[in-house]
Structure 1
Amino acid sequence: MLEILQHEKKIIGIKQTTKALKQGKAKVLYIANDADQHLLKPLVEMANTNGVEVVHVESMKKLGKACKIDVGAATAVVLK
């Protein structure tokens, strides 16, 4: 499921992910299980409300690597 992040248009990071969800541009939300759940809970709720698929990733490091960045990522969104 992470392979899609390497080929699709995406946004990485909590602030940008939030913006994409609010604007209705998100198709799939990826969240790292080891990120601060306090920050991620509103994003998951927004995704569920808007019918956006939520995919849990084992770690921020794996999510960052899947997004082809050298640092960990708490969230990423594949755009419509």
Structure 2
Amino acid sequence: MSLEPLKAARKKTIGAKQTLKAVEKSQAKEVYWASDAEHRVVDPILRICSSKNIPVIKVETMKELGRACNIEVGCAIAAITEH
């Protein structure tokens, strides 16, 4: 799946805490998660996404997701809150 929508998003969350808040408040439009992230970090968020029918997109690596978010470090999970 392409990371272009995440790169082009006007507003996004980066990291587990911010993304969890956005998902709980139903502000997240799409959630991107890295397959090499720790499952204890991303699984609870993915479960909530499933129950709220928020689309989730799997990304291969945390490094790739971090780059798409314009940060220098890896990122476990991120979300688009405004296209």
* TM-score for the superposition, normalised by structure 1: 0.95
Measure the CA separation in 2 of the matches of 1:78 and 1:51: 14
How far does residue 6 in structure 1 lie from its aligned partner after superposition? Answer: 1.3
List runs of 5+ in structure 2 lacking aligned partners: none
Cα distance in 1 for partners of 2:18, 2:41 equals 13
Partner of 1:45: 47
Q: Which runs of 5+ in 1 are unaligned?
A: none
> Cα RMSD (Å) of the superposition?
0.8
CA separation in 1, counterparts of 2:50 and 2:80?
Answer: 15
The residue aligned with 2:62 is 60
The one-letter amino acid of 1:4's match is P
Instruction: Using structure 2 for the length normalisation, give the TM-score.
Output: 0.92
Q: Which runs of 4+ in 1 moved over 2 A?
A: none
Q: Which amino acid aligns with 1:15?
A: K
* Percent of matched pairs sharing the same residue: 41
